Structure 1
Amino acid sequence: MSNTEKIGDSRMIETNQPDMHEKLVDIVHKHIAHPSRKPIQAHTQQAFDEINAIVLAFSGEVILDSCCGVGQSTRLLAKQNPDALVIGIDKSAHRINRNVDEVEHDDGQGRVENYHLIRADLNDFYRLVVTANWQISQHYILYPNPWPKAKHVQRRWHGSAVFPQIIAVGQEIILRSNWRLYLEEFQLAASIFSLQGDISAINDAEPLTPFEAKYQASGQQCWQLRIFK
């Protein structure tokens, strides 16, 4: 069975998993009982040390944009929150070094400058953020790789070893996907930490990411999970 089915200009997710993964709760409990002890990669430690100095010197609201890709969402969030420090993280140097000119241009309000794009491995970066006790107001995870095959559940963020750290970051967590089941699983995993969230359909006039724009143009419904602490 293929993972995807062509619809318009984007692909509808196809999975061999009809409902939430039967082992998800056990997987989350395993990661709680046995925290990751993997050594932090040097490039991520260096990137964290550099941005940590900026965070410590900043007295306002801090927003984290995980898996930011080309950084369009980071720039848009910075534009929407001009008094905040917005930090976008992605593992790909190629993606974060690309320019998104339509967000960078001067629209009469001045250039968007209150953001930083960082190349780092989030599996390590999240652990460093928790150890440093960053006070994040909003934590965005927009359109993560869904890994739709059931056997790949531990590659999804809520099935990963770092999930206990992910769920600890941010007063509010905002997750978006075109696969509602992904959000339902994340919501279930969060409930193990006594956290509640709401899933709703999104129909934004201005998509936050290129993926979101592509899905909406192809007629796919996109969904959002908001978890409040």
Structure 2
Amino acid sequence: MDACSRNVESNQTGLHERLDEVVQRHLAHRFRKPYQEHSLAAFKQLEQQVERAGKPLIFDSCCGVGASTARLAELHPEALVIGMDKSEHRLSRHHAHTPSEGENYLLLRVNLNDLWRLAEEAGWTLSHHYLLYPNPWPKSVHLQRRWHGSAVFPSLLALGGQLQMRSNWPLYLQEFARALELAGHSSSLQQINPERPITPFEEKYQASGQPLWRLDSDLSSLS
């Protein structure tokens, strides 16, 4: 494993000055962008798989190569874990990281801006939702590319469940915590040093000596 991973570099030194404005606007106005056809087809197939499984649902969003999805399936044998990423290339490398495939998880190439909204409209409620090392988009100009600055943020909240996020850039999680607060949800943020890395990114960041951070929030309740 290459231990030469650079720290996140950003022109921000604190919470984005427009964070509250952007989050509150998205909370007040529903995201109405038309769905992509491949997203609708993927969700229709996923609905059938979820119905057949008849288990609690866990989302592993931005799962990359899906190593985290396999690990979460081990930790939650009672559930169906759905790993999702927009990159077919990353998902195609899954078996290089996880030789044996479990029975209680699946991987899906999908646009999460569509999938989360479709799941919300279908009335799905998650038991857990993991966002492990998503792209933090550290440039200030890219606030609305971060999940908490995105128009789809309310759908993420509506899916409920125990939310866990991890990052090597604490400001990303501090902003997310503020966005949760604006939406009426409490959260906790702590530095972590996992004994067993849950993603290849986490392993790489640990090997580089970078501090790692974790945010937790119960989206099933309001503060």
TM above 0.5, one fold? yes
CA contact (8 A) 1:196 1:227 kept: yes
| Residue 89 of structure 1: aligned partner | 84
1:103 pairs, out of 98, 102, 111, with 98
Contact 1:104 1:112 in 2 (8 A): no
In the alignment, structure 1 residue 55 sits paired with structure 2 residue 45: no
Q: Deviations over 1:168-198 (max 9, x none)?
A: 2231110110000100100100111210010
1:23, CA displacement in angstroms?
0.7
Unpaired runs of at least 5, structure 2: none
Where do 4+ consecutive residues of structure 1 move more than 3 Å? 100-105
Confirm or deny that 1:124 pairs with 2:119: no
Q: Counting strand residues as a fraction of each chain, which structure ranks higher?
A: 1
Q: Is the 8 A contact 1:76 1:103 kept in 2?
A: no
What amino acid sits opposite 1:29 in the alignment?
A: Q
Q: Once the 2 structures are TM-superposed, how far is the Cα of residue 98 of structure 1 from its aligned partner?
A: 1.3
1:18 aligns to 2:17 (yes or no) = no
How far, CA to CA, are the matches of 2:199 and 2:107 in structure 1? 15
C-alpha RMSD of matched pairs (Å): 1.5
- C-alpha distance in 2, partners of 1:38/1:131? 14
State the identity as a percent.
49
Q: After superposition, where does 1:148-159 map in structure 2 within 5 Å?
A: 148-159=138-149
Return the TM-score normalized by structure 1. Answer: 0.91
**1:75 paired to 2:70:** yes
Shift of 1:215: 0.2
Q: Distance in 1 between matches of 2:200 and 2:160?
A: 24
**What is the number of equivalent residue pairs in this alignment?**
218
Aligned residue number for residue 191 of structure 1: 181
2:191 alignment partner in structure 1: 201
Q: Structure 1: give runs of 5+ residues left out of the alignment.
A: 1-6, 106-110
